[in-house]
Structure 1
Amino acid sequence: MRRFLDGLYLVSGGMAAVFMVGVLGAVVLSIVSRQMGVHIGGLDAYAGYFMAATGFLALAHTFKSGEHIRVTLVLAALPAKGRMRLDIFALLVACAITANLCWFSGKLVLDSFSYNDISTGDDATPLWIPQIAMAIGTFIFFIGVADETIRRMRGIPEANSEEIHYE
């Protein structure tokens, strides 16, 4: 199971990287086409869709790599048992928040699909298509936060953090 979850976070990060290259491609194509006097409608919108996909798909990989910003001032001042309890509490709160985000991201995709919601730009893209990346990214992020919460409750310290160690 550990290998599967780590692979899931890695694939999600890889997909984020692909979408980041998509942002670059859309922006470069927009600049080049503008210089050539050709208008390609919707490139700005697609750059935005790719940017959103990049951000959401990178959440779990970034979290599991220990790269999210953490304020450890209070944790460092506590004894080891207090650090562990506060860390688990914070992770439980993060689970609740990410579960909520995951739920409403999925609901947004379903609502956009059922109402045939399309973008108002030149591209007229059905909005549920780019919103899928947000829903998938928040779902994988929720899995990552829940995974880390369970690991901490079992007494396993964060693998990629050198700031806080439980004794």
Structure 2
Amino acid sequence: MSTTDPRHSIFPEWLRKGLDGLYLASGYLAGLFLVAIFVIMLALSAGRPLGIDVPAGDDFASWAMAASAFLGLAHTFRSGEMIRVGLLVERIHGRPRQLIEIAALVTGTAAAIYFAWFAFDMTRTSYQFNDLAQGVIAMPLWIPQLGFSGGLIILAIAFVDELAHVLFGGLPRYEKPAPETAEEAIERAIQSGA
């Protein structure tokens, strides 16, 4: 990719690959936790008629759900799949559009860093005080909280990455380019479930 391409990364190639790998790994982990929810719920449902109890199955399913939701955020953001209301922004072009994108990214970055910091602090505090789950299995709470805080930290990294990219003149990579043909527009609508 040439450096004149507005979607080109400002970071060295090794860092760009590392960041993209981090977002992809986070997405895969989210998918893994989604599979874990399925397996736990299947074990709970199939175990009841057979008299088999899965200790703290509901707790593990809820922790896996939180991990899946938060670990998937950065990958969803970078893939351009996050819900974005662009009715106004899509009608603006040029420098005003870039300034609006920068303002939105600054706001998003500040919110992501804020939530990531407090999620990290909560996980660290749970670790320091050896907080335990109140369920059947006394699991240290910092372990399931890692998915929550880790997902928010990776999302904050993704926002900082994207903000730096747009500040240096790049086009937002979280926004897919406009479809070039009617068939492409229809295919995107089908894929998004619209």
For normalisation by structure 2, the TM-score amounts to: 0.80
Q: Deviations over 1:27-74 (max 9, x none)?
A: 001111112112222001000111111011101000000011111112
Q: How many angstroms does 1:124 deviate by?
A: 2.1
Amino acid at match of 1:122: V
Structure with the larger helix share: 1
Alignment-derived partner of residue 157 in structure 2 = 143
- Which residue, out of 50, 75, 92, partners 2:106? 92
TM superposition shift of 1:145:
0.6
Measured in 1, the distance between the counterparts of 2:88 and 2:152 equals: 28
Q: Does 1:4 align with 2:21?
A: no
What is the distance in 2 between the residues matched to 1:58 and 1:123? 27
Question: Which residue in 1 is equivalent to 2:83?
Answer: 69
Identity %: 35
> What SS class does the counterpart of residue 152 from structure 2 fall into?
helix
Please list every run of 5 or more consecutive structure 2 residues that lacks an aligned counterpart in the other structure.
1-14, 179-194
Residue in 1 that maps onto 2:115? 101
Alignment of 1:1-167 (within 5 A): 1-159=15-173, 160-163=175-178
Structure 1: segments with no counterpart, 5+ residues: none
1:111-160 Cα deviation digits (max 9, x unpaired): 11122211122222111110011111111111101101111111111235
Q: Which moved more, 1:118-127 or 1:154-163?
A: 154-163
Residues paired across the two proteins, number = 163
